[in-house]
Structure 1
Amino acid sequence: MRSFKFIAAAIAASLLASCATTPPKVVQAPPPVEEAQLPYQWTHGHAPKATKDARAAFGTVALRAGDYRWTPTIPDAPAKVVIDRLQQLMFVYKGDTLVGLTTISSGKKGRETPLGYWKVFRKQVKGFSRKYDNAPMPYMQMYDEKGIAFHGGKLPGYPASHGCVRIPVEFAKKLYGLTAMGTEVIIEG
């Protein structure tokens, strides 16, 4: 009972204190920024379309961290990767057909995976991080000059990397065989 009275008194004191303070300053919205000045390009709705494609291809799928779906591929179509940071999912296309879906672990707060349009420019089966104590990056596919890539790794079920996109190792192996230099990578969310 004593702690309840203390809490009630503290709430009352804070309410009274807030009445005595000056009203907050009006903050104006910042001026609009040209897209060319942004550190990345805005993306335009690829992830919502990919989510619809996933429902059509795999039905209602509830993936746990580390789960994925993979289907036989279309041989003569180019690959494309769509990553949705918000849903923590990666969608893999061959032409216009969705062939893969997996959970991911993108960059944690303060080291977010950058949004935008990219292309794979380096692939390595046994990659290692130059920045982070030679951390293993199996089936690494780099798409950003700063060293950000997608690769096999630990998937805790939330953003936890230093900026890379971690995917299940078995999925990374399949994806490695599907992509080529110049494969389009779209990151949204």
Structure 2
Amino acid sequence: MRRLLPPIALLLTLAAAAGPASAARRPVKLYFTAGEQLRIVDRRLSENSTTLLPALRALLSGPTSAERARGADTQIPRGVKLRSVTVTAGGGATVVFTQGFLKDIPVDAAQRTSRQTAALRARLAQVIFTVTQFGDIDEARVVAGEVTIDEDVSREDYATPSRPPKPQVIPPGEAIPGTRAVQERLTALGYLPASAVDGLAGYRTQQAIMAFQAWNGLDRDGVVGPATSAKLKTASRPRGTAGGASRRIEVHRARGVALLIDGGRVVRAIHISTGAGADATPRGRYRVFRKERRSWSVPFRVWLPYASYFNKGIALHESPDVPPQPASHGCVRVPAPEAPEVYAFATVGTEVVVVG
């Protein structure tokens, strides 16, 4: 943690940063987001004072319509204002925003959900990376209203960890009568691979049931109740609805199901969770352009195993949390047992169609 120097340090630093009073438009980088990664946008700012201040104001204003069309987004809420910036000769900065920086996020960290914690990390990342591009600033303290959100934070805090993610441990499940018959039916319909038929009512079977329920318009609870049991007897294998390449992935946002289609036939139907609210996964046709077995989300500071990127920072990836509703920041969450199969299927160039 860096101790702030006396005010004279601030005056000297700002004077050095300001440059000539007649400074022309200066190029800066604004750090927005795209899915679950940072999206760097180059801008030229015309203000004559230190470029740090207009850069922060531009960051708070968000991407332009043209930049949004190219995939840039922001996690910082609308309406947040910059109150002050204090810079020291020691390489630190204190950036004070209005209370709105914490919109929808509890002040008490213990009361935050994992999604709220991740969203706050991303907001901080946008500020930290934008601020630390200037001069000798290497870390910053961010304040919302009167609340210090975090002590001095640097880019190093967002660096890829040296240790890989720990494999997700999935309990085997219970031996419940009738489970094998349900699994065999789910396999016949494409919701479960034959290798997963073991007679145990575990996580993978639960996710397969949820995919079946979602596709057939039933409540997604992962339990084979009377309605689900009746539908299993009459249902047919899902069919693609979006058209396109004979080998493709269809992401059905409203249903929460991804269809792996090969030769025009659905080979697997998998339960997924897409982007929620303002982070809704954009509809459209894309192609897988990058694959990372262990991908690191810089702004959200979380591992994204088995990531297949198809739209800027948006990817299909493994997640320990695939609920029966949209929940991500734009990516397509895939249950851990299914992630390796989706990763293998989504080769570079594979078409991904997002609908619903």
For residue 149 of structure 1, report the CA deviation from its aligned partner: 0.6
2:318 matched residue in structure 1? 152
CA displacement 1:9-32 (0-9 Å, x = unmatched): xxxxxxxxxxxxxxxxxxxxxxxx
Whether the 8 Å CA contact 2:251–2:353 is kept in 1: the answer is yes
Distance 1:78 1:138, change over 3 A: farther
Match of 2:213 in 1: 62
Superposed structure 1 runs of 4+ greater than 6 Å apart: none
Larger Rg: 2
TM-score, normalization by structure 2: 0.33
1:66, distance to aligned residue in structure 2 (A): 8.1
CA distance in 2, matches of 1:138, 1:65: 25
> Aligned partners of 2:259, 2:253: CA distance in 1, in Å?
11
With over 3 angstroms needed to count, the CA separation of the structure-2 counterparts of 1:110 and 1:120, relative to structure 1, is: same
What is the CA distance between 1:78 and its match in structure 2? 6.4
> Where does structure 1 lack aligned partners over 5 or more consecutive residues?
1-37, 41-53, 68-76
Q: Which residue of 2 aligns with 1:115?
A: 283
What's the Cα RMSD here? 3.1
Matches of 1:65 and 1:102, distance apart in 2: 15
- Give me the whole-angstrom Cα distance separating, in 1, the residues matched to 2:246 and 2:345: 9
1:92 is aligned to 260
Report the counterpart of residue 130 of structure 1 in structure 2. 298
Give the deviation of 1:57 after TM superposition: 4.0
Find the aligned partners of 2:253 and 2:282 in 1 and give their Cα distance.
Answer: 9
Aligned to 1:166, which of 333, 337, 356? 333
User: Normalising to structure 1: TM-score of the pair?
Assistant: 0.60
Matches of 1:106 and 1:91, distance apart in 2 = 14
Residue 213 of structure 2 aligns with an amino acid whose one-letter code is A
Distance 1:65 1:155, change over 3 A: farther
Cα deviation for residue 131 of structure 1 reads 2.3
Whichever residue aligns with residue 105 of structure 1, its letter is: S
Opposite residue 254 of structure 2, the aligned amino acid is L
Contact 1:65 1:103 in 2 (8 A): no
- Are residues 96 and 65 of structure 1, via their aligned partners in 2, closer, same or farther at CA, if it must alter by over 3 Å? farther
> Measured at CA, do residues 155 and 99 of structure 1 come closer, stay the same or move farther in structure 2, by a change above 3 Å?
same
CA 1:117 to 1:158, structure 2 compared with 1: closer, same or farther past 3 Å?
Answer: same
Instruction: Give the match for residue 200 of structure 2.
Output: none
Per-residue deviation at 1:65? 6.8
| Distance in 2 between residues matched to 1:98 and 1:167, nearest whole Å | 17
- 1:102 maps to 270
**Do 2:190 and 2:268's aligned partners in 1 also have CA atoms closer than 8 Å?**
no
The alpha-carbon distance between structure 1 residues 111 and 102, as it changes in their structure 2 partners (threshold 3 A), is same
Give the fraction of aligned pairs with identical amino acids, expressed as a percent. 32
Aligned-pair CA distance for 1:58: 4.5
- When you count helix as a share of all residues, which structure comes out higher? 2
Q: Which amino acid aligns with 2:317?
A: H
2:280 partner amino acid: E
Q: Would you say how many aligned residue pairs link Structure 1 and Structure 2? A: 128
Give the superposition deviation at 1:179.
Answer: 2.5
- Structure having greater relative contact order (Cα 8 Å, sep ≥ 6): 1
- Given candidates 70, 80, 83, the residue that maps to 2:248 is 80
Alpha-carbon distance between aligned partners in 2 of 1:163 and 1:80, rounded to the nearest angstrom: 20
Q: Which ranges in structure 2 are unaligned for 5 or more consecutive residues? A: 1-67, 71-185, 192-208, 215-219, 224-244
Give the corresponding residue for 1:140: 307
Question: 2-side partners of 1:182 and 1:131: how far apart?
Answer: 26
Q: Distance in 1 between matches of 2:309 and 2:270?
A: 18
CA distance in 1, matches of 2:285, 2:294: 25
